[in-house]
Amino acid sequence: MTVRPALPSAEQQADMMAVVLARRLRDGERVFHGVASPLPMVACLVAQRLHAPNLVYLNITGSANPVPETLPASTVDPRLLRETRSLVTLAELFDLSARGELDTVFLSGVQIDAGGRINMSAIGPYDHPKVRLPGGAGSAALMPTARRTLLWRTKHDPRTFVERVEFVTAVGNVDRVVTPLCVFKRVDGRLRVEEIYPYTTPEAVRAATGFAVDADETTPVAPPVSDTERAALDAVDPHHVRLIEFA
Amino acid sequence: MTVRPALPSAEQQADMMAVVLARRLRDGERVFHGVASPLPMVACLVAQRLHAPNLVYLNITGSANPVPETLPASTVDPRLLRETRSLVTLAELFDLSARGELDTVFLSGVQIDAGGRINMSAIGPYDHPKVRLPGGAGSAALMPTARRTLLWRTKHDPRTFVERVEFVTAVGNVDRVVTPLCVFKRVDGRLRVEEIYPYTTPEAVRAATGFAVDADETTPVAPPVSDTERAALDAVDPHHVRLIEFA
Amino acid sequence: MRDKRANLRDVVTSVPDGASIALGGNTLHRAPCAFVHELVRQQKHSLTVIKTAASYDVDLLAGTGCIARAEVAFVGFENVFGLAPRYRRAIETGQLQLKEHACYTVISGLRASAQGVPFMPVAGMFGSDVVAKSDFRTIEDPFTGHPVVAVPALRPDVAVVHVQEADAEGNARIYGTRFEDALIAQAAQRVIITCERIVDGSVLATRPELTAIPGYLVEAVVEAPRGAWPLSCADEYDYDHEFLAAYIRAAQDDAVYAAFVEQHVLAPTVAA
Amino acid sequence: MRDKRANLRDVVTSVPDGASIALGGNTLHRAPCAFVHELVRQQKHSLTVIKTAASYDVDLLAGTGCIARAEVAFVGFENVFGLAPRYRRAIETGQLQLKEHACYTVISGLRASAQGVPFMPVAGMFGSDVVAKSDFRTIEDPFTGHPVVAVPALRPDVAVVHVQEADAEGNARIYGTRFEDALIAQAAQRVIITCERIVDGSVLATRPELTAIPGYLVEAVVEAPRGAWPLSCADEYDYDHEFLAAYIRAAQDDAVYAAFVEQHVLAPTVAA
């Protein structure tokens, strides 16, 4: 049997997640992220340097294809306006998705369930919550209207990945869910493990997931971060802003 | 009995109408005109020079309180942008009226009826018109939502002022109707003569109107164009652009 | 983003007969006339035109039989030349089908489309015969029960906007009044920009607040100097009073009009 | 137009307890914090705050008991400092009533108000428990019968927007992202502008396309240098990382928090 490896470092997890997210992006598509989205920010910029030079990188500042000098910790930061040639309001960004013209949106959830539903609202009874969460921001409007949703979450444990969320903040066209251990793909409305990362094992993924998953020795393993991917990561985010999601 | 005077010149009519419209404008109110509105354009600029320095003059170019160097014949002309400090879309102008924040709108009708309804759509059967008219532009949305509508029409004859329009392009909060002969005021939903001009007579007004009107010797007569009003007219519209409505 | 520069002929060729086209500008100002002239040259037919307030652009399309349907609120030459002669004639003879709007219902229908919803509630409109004629509906507010007029989504197949400056990606800067140009670009399935001049994107990047239409909504950008002629283009040129006067005169007689169109529109030198 | 310059104290005094206030900006950026600080100083209470995505501004209003109700889609310090500690606490203890939104439903409600209609149809939202919790309604499109979610009009009593430049008439120029600032100004009954500096109107007249909010919608304009502090203001300053870190630390304990607010907010030197 496989010995569970030591928990990978935050650096390893952040790099792997950024690269795996970038790999999922397609050249020429319109991609959007909102507030609190450092990994998607890095993934978009990395993808543009590698296989997706014509990707249209949109974000909640209203800019398009910005060329930030330094990456901000806030993904609504004016630094994300640098070199943009257009600037639109939040309303126009949501409209873009509403009419089916947004190809990919990045969203996250404090809880994510086996159906790809997310909870960003409350832990415990909604009206008397144990923990009031920030709220879903754009997710309830975007998840059903964007052509696909890429969910990401930097924590992978049984309390985060649950069979059924306590409150459905948003649900919609979830395509993939990227975690520090694996990539889930939504098939017939349920999350299935598409690939696990080189630094973990099927057992570790199963143990970390609060719903039944089919990871086993036959589950594909994602290619490790390549030299060119590493170079792109270093060029885009030399100061490791992406690590802030693991603080 | 009174002898009907000779028909006043186009100059007399244009000057009187511009001044009568300007007199109806109040200091501080928000006033809007759309396309094909030379007399309202002149009236707003004249009123600002006389009793309404704080009138907010809005027009379909999206400008506010422009200071045109020369008056355009088209009232959508970029000349109406000069010195404006803000610029909004047409949609925002209609929104302003829609939420009840537009005090006065200037509108006209090829036919105007005893109820203050206007027809800008068709003469003859709507679906097979004898004359297809330009259409009401903003009127159907603005007349019911602006706090008051000032109608003006440079032709006053029985075919223009009718008991009932053939087609109701728009109806709404009509306050006054200004013609080359008189000012109608809408009272209990019907147009009544408020005042006639010095150069005409009650008989002439009755004869020119296609619905029963109560003009008689007791009907007030509007003050003639004063020297200060004349001076303002000359300053605002030295080239008599206002005459184009009488061509 | 990719380079979207194209020539006028190819872009117009890509517009199929029967398409619905929303035109930018308003009355005598900044309409995409070079594009309209090419539509006439290519003898497009069965088109639907969508605009709030139009003049020469829609009158010419009506006079040359390119449009079979119009969703408009105003077509005329204002006080400058009065009624739109060929538009009038086309409706009076039944050749052109009109769905009459108020400017605001055109805007509302475009907003519904831009926002991905099937209809838009619109203030006002009460008492207007346009509501029934154009098949708008009066519905109840689900929260208060109060009546409000609803307009169906208006989704043009193509939006065509003429601007002063655009870059090769289609980012379009408009100086002066924007009219509904940004809205029709949001509402339409395809967006075509014609511009006085192509500028380097770095110019737009110096002040992105001035970009009215973002390039990622745009399919093609055509450099068309004087592309609004014979109408005006703010900061560039006034409308061509003499040409429009001649157009109106010619429009009074079918044979004279045909000759005028032949000489001034079908002749390839028109945009020169 | 008249001169609308006013001082912050008087303007805030004119806002009654119980009012609904829409705040400009987004998360850590360009919120009207000087105005918010003055609300706290004047111990306003029973306010409703309306915003898509907030951070320090709404957290402070919750922590000081100024707001009894919030219509928001997100309140947090992003990844910089995580959850909003006092906002959280206020809801968990039942002191603050939340009407949860998606950013887009806040926008839709504001749009309804700006357009003078009682509700706005909004795309998406299907399957979200927010729809039922916030009393949105699913209605039928009157033209196709298809279901669509409807959001009631959201009409703030007051909109407060901080911008870089405004003139004495209230014409407000925004550099960088406008967020929903123009929309909340259209939707609200009263509009208050705070700005880094008052400029002469002739400056705005040189490029009116950059004016985000026209003066005729504005009631008062307040010159408030660093008026977004401790949040960022594009082209002017970044958010104050040290101050916000101290705020988050203080917020973990009621007594420490009270002392922090006393020292940094109630002390009149705060905006200096």
pLDDT digits (tens, 9 = 90+) for B26-85: 999 999 999 999 999 999 999 999 999 999 999 999 999 999 999 999 999 999 999 999
CB contact under 8 A, A99 and C114: yes
CB contact under 8 A, B81 and D208: yes
Least Cα distance to B191 among B213, B165, B170 occurs for B213
Q: Give D26 to chain B, closest Cα distance, Å.
A: 23
Assign residue B104 a region: left if phi > 0, alpha if psi is -120 to 50, beta otherwise?
Answer: beta
The pLDDT-based confidence of A6 (bands split at 50, 70, 90) is low
Per CB-CB distance under 8 Å, the chain D contacts of C176 are: 209
D98 CB within 8 Å of a chain A CB: yes
Mean pLDDT of C19-39: 98
pLDDT digits (tens, 9 = 90+) for D13-26: 999 999 999 999 99
Question: What is the average pLDDT score of chain B?
Answer: 96
pLDDT tops 50 at residue C40: yes
Stated as kind and residue range, the H or E segment containing D201 is helix D201-205
| A8: DSSP letter | P
Interface test with A, best of C216, C217, C219, C221 (most A CBs within 10 A): C216
Least Cα distance to A1 among A204, A220, A224, A223 occurs for A204
Six token digits for residue C170? 């289609």
Q: Give C264 to chain D, closest Cα distance, Å.
A: 35
Residues in chain A: 247
Contacts of D152 (CB under 8 A, 6+ apart): C143, D109, D112, D118, D119, D135, D136
pLDDT tops 90 at residue A247: no
pLDDT digits (tens, 9 = 90+) for D25-52: 999 999 999 999 999 999 999 999 999 9
**A26 to each of A34, A43, A67, A234, how far by Cα in Å?**
19, 12, 19, 21
CB contact under 8 A, C117 and D137: no
pLDDT digits (tens, 9 = 90+) for C162-194: 999 999 999 999 999 999 999 999 999 999 999
Per CB-CB distance under 8 Å, the chain D contacts of A90 are: 26, 52, 103, 107, 179-180
CB contact under 8 A, D180 and A89: yes
Please, how many CA atoms are within 13 Å of residue D78, restricted to the half-sphere of its CB?
Answer: 27
pLDDT tops 60 at residue B1: no
Nearest to A81 among D75, D176, D180 (CB): D176
pLDDT digits (tens, 9 = 90+) for B157-215: 999 999 999 999 999 999 999 999 999 999 999 999 999 999 999 999 999 999 999 99
Residue of chain B whose alpha carbon sits nearest to that of C85: B132
Per CB-CB distance under 8 Å, the chain B contacts of D201 are: 85
Per CB-CB distance under 8 Å, the chain C contacts of D176 are: 209
CB contact under 8 A, C205 and A99: no
**DSSP-assigned states of every residue in B87-110:** ---HHHHHHHHHTT---EEEE--S
D127 CB within 8 Å of a chain A CB: yes
Nearest to B86 among D115, D117, D211 (CB): D211
Residue of chain D whose alpha carbon sits nearest to that of C147: D118
Q: Give C132 to chain A, closest Cα distance, Å.
A: 28
CB contact under 8 A, D115 and B98: yes
Interface test with D, best of B65, B85, B142, B145 (most D CBs within 10 A): B85
How far apart CA D75 and CA D62 sit, in angstroms, is 11
CB contact under 8 A, C174 and D121: no
Residue B154 · residue B17 · CB < 8 Å: yes
Report how far apart the first and last C-alpha atoms of chain A are (Å, whole number): 33
Assign residue C187 a region: left if phi > 0, alpha if psi is -120 to 50, beta otherwise?
Answer: alpha
CB contact under 8 A, B85 and D211: yes
Whole-prediction pTM value?
0.97
Residue D211 · residue D171 · CB < 8 Å: yes
Per CB-CB distance under 8 Å, the chain D contacts of A130 are: 92
Contacts of C79 (CB under 8 A, 6+ apart): B36, B38, B73, B74, B244, B245, B247
| CB neighbours of residue A222 within 10 Å | 18
Q: Is the four-CA dihedral C212, C216, C220, C222 of positive or negative sign? A: positive
Nearest to D148 among C117, C137, C209 (CB): C117
How far apart CA C149 and CA C257 sit, in angstroms, is 41
- pLDDT > 90: percent of chain D: 97
CB contact under 8 A, D142 and C148: no
pLDDT digits (tens, 9 = 90+) for D160-196: 999 999 999 999 999 999 999 999 999 999 999 999 9
Please, how many CA atoms are within 13 Å of residue B224, restricted to the half-sphere of its CB?
Answer: 6
pLDDT tops 90 at residue C151: yes
pLDDT digits (tens, 9 = 90+) for C213-260: 999 999 999 999 999 999 999 999 999 999 999 999 999 999 999 999
How far apart CA D185 and CA A89 sit, in angstroms, is 14
Least Cα distance to B198 among B1, B5, B3 occurs for B5
pLDDT tops 70 at residue A2: no
How far apart CA D170 and CA D5 sit, in angstroms, is 8
Question: What is the reported pLDDT for A146?
Answer: 98
Nearest to D91 among A129, A168, A244 (CB): A129
How far apart CA A124 and CA A121 sit, in angstroms, is 10
Chains D and A touch (3+ CB pairs under 8 A): yes
Residue of chain D whose alpha carbon sits nearest to that of A99: D123
**D76 to each of B10, C6, D53, D147, how far by Cα in Å?**
67, 46, 8, 33
Q: Give A71 to chain C, closest Cα distance, Å.
A: 19
Side chain identity, residue C205: A
The pLDDT-based confidence of A8 (bands split at 50, 70, 90) is confident
Buried b (16+ CB within 10 A) or exposed e, B61-99: bbbbbbebeebbbbbbbbbbbebbbbbbbbbbbbbbbbb
pLDDT tops 50 at residue D270: no
How far apart CA B109 and CA B96 sit, in angstroms, is 22
Which chains neighbour D (Cβ–Cβ under 8 Å, 3 or more pairs)? Answer: A, B, C
The pLDDT-based confidence of C1 (bands split at 50, 70, 90) is confident
Residue of chain C whose alpha carbon sits nearest to that of B121: C100
Question: What is the reported pLDDT for A7?
Answer: 75
CB contact under 8 A, B100 and D116: yes
Contacts of A196 (CB under 8 A, 6+ apart): A181, A182, A183, A202, A205, A215, A219, A220, A221, A222
How far apart CA B133 and CA C88 sit, in angstroms, is 7
Q: Give C10 to chain B, closest Cα distance, Å.
A: 31
Per CB-CB distance under 8 Å, the chain D contacts of C137 are: 142-143
Per CB-CB distance under 8 Å, the chain A contacts of C1 are: 54, 56, 64-65
Question: What is the reported pLDDT for A1?
Answer: 44
D181 CB within 8 Å of a chain B CB: no
Question: What is the average pLDDT score of chain D?
Answer: 96
Question: What is the reported pLDDT for D35?
Answer: 98
Question: What is the reported pLDDT for D76?
Answer: 97
CB contact under 8 A, A95 and C114: yes
The pLDDT-based confidence of C271 (bands split at 50, 70, 90) is very low
Question: What is the reported pLDDT for C267?
Answer: 84
- pLDDT > 90: percent of chain A: 96
C121 CB within 8 Å of a chain D CB: yes
Per CB-CB distance under 8 Å, the chain D contacts of B81 are: 208
Q: Chain centroid to CA B38: how far?
A: 9
How far apart CA A134 and CA A75 sit, in angstroms, is 15
pLDDT tops 80 at residue D153: yes
pLDDT digits (tens, 9 = 90+) for A121-171: 999 999 999 999 999 999 999 999 999 999 999 999 999 999 999 999 999
pLDDT tops 70 at residue B6: no
- pLDDT > 70: percent of chain B: 98
C231 CB within 8 Å of a chain B CB: no
Which chains neighbour A (Cβ–Cβ under 8 Å, 3 or more pairs)? Answer: C, D
Question: What is the reported pLDDT for B174?
Answer: 98
C242 CB within 8 Å of a chain B CB: no
ipTM comes to 0.97
Per CB-CB distance under 8 Å, the chain C contacts of A101 are: 217
Least Cα distance to A44 among A36, A59, A35 occurs for A59
Mean pLDDT of B108-137: 97
C166 CB within 8 Å of a chain A CB: no
Question: What is the reported pLDDT for D68?
Answer: 98
Per CB-CB distance under 8 Å, the chain A contacts of C117 are: 98
Least Cα distance to C68 among C50, C84, C45, C52 occurs for C45
How far apart CA B26 and CA B4 sit, in angstroms, is 34
pLDDT digits (tens, 9 = 90+) for A161-196: 999 999 999 999 999 999 999 999 999 999 999 999
- Mapping DSSP to helix (H, G, I), strand (E, B) and coil, where does residue D67 land? strand
CB contact under 8 A, B141 and C84: no
Nearest to A64 among C114, C186, C216 (CB): C216
CB contact under 8 A, C208 and A81: yes
Chains A and B touch (3+ CB pairs under 8 A): no
Per CB-CB distance under 8 Å, the chain B contacts of C80 are: 73-74, 244
Question: What is the reported pLDDT for D271?
Answer: 46
Q: Give C272 to chain A, closest Cα distance, Å.
A: 30
How far apart CA C47 and CA C69 sit, in angstroms, is 7
Mean pLDDT of C58-85: 97
Per CB-CB distance under 8 Å, the chain C contacts of A63 are: 208
How far apart CA C19 and CA C188 sit, in angstroms, is 11
Question: What is the reported pLDDT for C266?
Answer: 93
Question: What is the reported pLDDT for C268?
Answer: 60
pLDDT digits (tens, 9 = 90+) for D71-82: 999 999 999 999
